[in-house]
Amino acid sequence: MTGAVGKLKRRARLVKRDCYALYLAARDPRVPWVAKALALIVAGYAFSPIDLIPDFIPVLGYLDDALLLPLGILAAVRLIPPVVMAELRASAAARIGAAAPVSRIAAAIVVLIWIAGLALDYAAFRARSS
């Protein structure tokens, strides 16, 4: 059991390091603009204090952390030149002890998505009620 827990902790540290590396990649001039955009989206969501799917919702709450975030990281990393990504990972690993950035803009976007979803749901409800 300890082996599995240790493996999960190691993977969580790698995800955190890669998120921080993507945060750095979004500001690196050697990174192509498409990769920068995707890195900014993934890192912004990772460091957002609000999740798209709240963690208190059974199963779905952790789906974004367990599935969507690693897939976003994988896609962004594939767009970044390997040499640059290696440097960014090393830099992120060195800074990992420092406070992680917090993305309030991403949190605001998540809240706007929630509001839009509620508005659409309300409009659909009103249409069915009429």
* pLDDT less than 50: residues of the chain: none
Task: Give the orientation angle of helix 2-25 with respect to helix 69-79, to 10 degrees.
Answer: 50
Determine contact, residues 36/26, Cβ cutoff 8 Å.
Answer: yes
- Please tell me the predicted confidence (pLDDT) of residue 99: 59
Task: Give the pLDDT of residue 38.
Answer: 93
pLDDT of residue 1: 52
Tokens of 45: 């969501």
pLDDT value, residue 45: 84
Residue 109 CA to residue 120 CA, distance in Å, equals: 16
Inter-residue contact 44 to 108 (CB < 8 Å): no
Q: Please report the pLDDT score of residue 64 as a whole number.
A: 74
**Which residue has tokens 């440097």?**
87
Count of C-beta atoms within a 10 Å radius of residue 31 = 23
How far from 61 is each of 20, 36, 52, 64, 91, CA to CA, in Å?
22, 27, 9, 7, 31
What whole-number distance in Å separates Cα of residue 35 and Cα of residue 26?
8
CB 45 within 8 A of CB 37: no
What per-residue confidence (pLDDT) applies to 97? 66
Q: Is the pTM of this model over 0.85?
A: no
Gyration radius of the chain over CA positions:
17
Per-residue pLDDT tens over the stretch 54-85: 777 777 778 777 888 899 999 999 999 999 99
What confidence score (pLDDT) does residue 32 get? 95
